[in-house]
A and B are shown apart, each in its own frame.
Chain A
Amino acid sequence: MMDLLNILLSDSFWAASLRIATPLIFGVLGALICERAGVLNLGIEGIFVVGAMCGWMAVWLGAGLWGGVLFAALAGAFFGLLHAILTVPLGLSQHVSGLGITLFATSVSYYTYRTALPNVSSPPRIEPFQALDIPVLSDLPFLGPVLFQQTALTWLALLMVGLVWYVMNRTALGVAIKAVGDNPDSVDAQGLSVYGLRMGAIVAGSALMALGGAFLTMSAFDAFFFGMVNGRGWVCIALVIFASWRPGKALLGALLFGAFDALQVRLQTEMGALVPGQVFLMAPYILSIIALVIAARSADYPRALLTPWFKGQR
């Protein structure tokens, strides 16, 4: 028990939690924007892969770290646009289209990577984002290592939580996005474009998702591996329900997940002799299902989620 307490009080544990949570923060925020506008985006898993591959490749080709981030976001926006066209004006099944985008985005990424690097045994590395070292702040006890020795992308994620919260709750655009996910007819009656709002939300949300992927290759690791996304996108789809489509709770959900994952890794090293390591590896996915089951009962889904809308048809 003392061990557990030691882990929970250590600054390295909380720093790791925030680090693990970062891609999920991007992903949950992206999924949240799409779903608030009434469209489920199961393309998330593939968009993570695209973001991871494109961000890494841009840097590898010499675009610079922020160039890589920008390129990843644009690539994510492109696949988001594809999903938007299929699900909004064409009104096709959001489930099937999303899975199709995931398969397509993943295979495009893998094919591109393999074609660019046909015969590499160990993936080429880039110089990733370094931990910010802010004078004075980084030297604070506890807060220093946890908050002020993270990379710029983690700070970007935290900034995005605030930005998405502000747009959703304090601007006319946010009101319109939420309305288009609840009652598109009323938005249309006000003379706003339902198609435009929904498609814009999907494109913006997908760009955010891609940043989650980019964090993996440009901050958490320094190279691209097949299968490195490993279900993180699907976890975000579960977390967004847990977060009841609110940015603040999305941050909380991602942090809880990150803390649990960080704890799992530490317990694995402490108790590895007693319990097979896989039990700990399974735990985050099981936790996601439990979170979903708990949240599902009272979940207040955007009312027009999954329902296509056609102009002039009621």
Chain B
Amino acid sequence: MIRIEPRESPSRAFAVGIPVLSAVISLAFAAIPLLAAGANPLVAYGEMIKGVFGSVFAVSEMLTRATPLIFTGLAAALAFRAKLWNIGAEGQLYLGAMAAVGIGSGFLDISGLLLLPLIIFLGAAAGAVGMMAPTYLKVRFGADEVVTTLLLNFIILIFLQMMLEGPLQDPMGLGWPQSAPVLDQGMLPPLMDRMRVHSGLILALVLAAIAQFMLARSVWGFKLRAVGENTAAARHAGINVRRSLFVVAAISGALAGLAGVSEVAGLKGYLTSDLSPGFGYTGIVVAMLAGLSPVGVVIAALFIASVFVGADSMSRAMGVSSFLADLVVSMSLLCVLVGGFLARYRILRTRAAKA
């Protein structure tokens, strides 16, 4: 017989060791699809490492890819802490991006230093609204936010296509469904000459640090964790649960909106409907690998960005499909889930009790 028993106190070594181990195991598992594609896994791993760390340019590409993942990872981590299942970061990202190009491409005659802060603020606000609406439906009508945020992703993407063929379309764009470019003074400045890594990364790191501090040290962070761990007890302790949910919804949505701002105003300069290759969904994996800790989100985002950039580069060199990266990312999520189980429980072999 097998018995499952909770551990008295899950140790700290598990909290760090399991995500690291999950990452390693998921990469090791990648050997199977690599072999299936007829590639030598060792050569492929070599190509991946070269693709991420082989040059300053490669590292810059990795950091560029990690930037939106830190934002969406934080968005998921904070919401999940309060057991608010925000699966809608993908849509909120596009809301933020639409606000950014709407205000930043010369629609309003704002010049100089004001434009960039305004873009950041409105992008965050648009994302926040995008999460507060489903939270309202949850609190007021009991409509499950998992389903509503997922469906909103599709609605927002179609809305985006409508905007890109309508009010947001670049009049100089020869009819392509893309927005006018963000004005120069509205762009997040690059961090290095001739490299794509931009100051959106700094913004993401600062927000991660603030989130870490608020979560661990502030009354707000305490309330958030209390609501997530035991809603009834939190309510009993006099915490306004609805208010806490709306606040975390706004913050989570705003962070996802900033991912869109950062991609538009830091990297692309204009908006198309393929701005995000699923950054919102990948953010959920980032948050889970991070054990929902903001500092962990930064590390996990760097790992996942390395997988994507490394796999892209390996794919170009060896002709293996770059869907390999998505495969590794999804396997790392499943591994960390199982690992979390091993951290919380131990499996004991017992003899069947005699009746």
Contact = CB atoms under 8 A, between A and B. Distances in A.
Contact of A99 (B87, B144, B323): B87
Residue of B147, B152, B288, B321 with most partner-chain A CB within 10 A:
B147
A38 to B, nearest CB: 16
Given A99-B284, A234-B150, A276-B162, A282 B155 contact: yes
Interface stretch (B44-52, B105-113, B295-303, B330-338): B330-338
Given A99-B87, A100-B330, A288-B151, A296 B281 contact: no
Nearest to B140: A293
Contacts of A286: 155
Given A104-B333, A118-B319, 20 more contacts: A86-B334, A86-B337, A96-B288, A99-B87, A100-B330, A107-B326, A107-B329, A111-B326, A114-B323, A118-B321, A234-B147, A234-B150, A276-B165, A278-B158, A279-B162, A282-B159, A285-B152, A285-B158, A296-B142, A311-B4
Given A97-B337, A103-B329, A111 B137 contact: no
Interface of B: 3-4, 33, 36-37, 85, 87, 137, 141-144, 146-148, 150-155, 158-159, 161-162, 165-166, 281, 284-285, 288, 319-321, 323-324, 326-327, 329-331, 333-334, 337-338, 340-341
Nearest to B328: A107
A131 interface: no
A282 B152 CA distance: 10
Contact of A115 (B37, B148, B166): B37
Contacts of A89: 4
B147 A238 contact: yes
Main SS at interface, chain B: helix
A286 B331 CA distance: 32
A278 B162 contact: yes
A235 interface: yes
Contact of A92 (B141, B147, B151, B341): B341
For chain A, the bracket of interface size reads: 35 or more
A281 B33 CA distance: 36
Nearest to B335: A100
B239 to A, nearest CB: 22
Contact of A104 (B146, B154, B330): B330
Nearest to A280: B158
Contacts of A206: none
A99 B4 CA distance: 25
B341 A90 contact: yes
A287 to B, nearest CB: 10
22 contacts: A86-B334, A86-B337, A86-B338, A92-B338, A92-B341, A96-B284, A99-B333, A107-B327, A111-B324, A118-B319, A237-B150, A278-B162, A282-B155, A282-B158, A285-B151, A285-B158, A289-B152, A292-B148, A296-B141, A296-B142, A296-B144, A311-B4
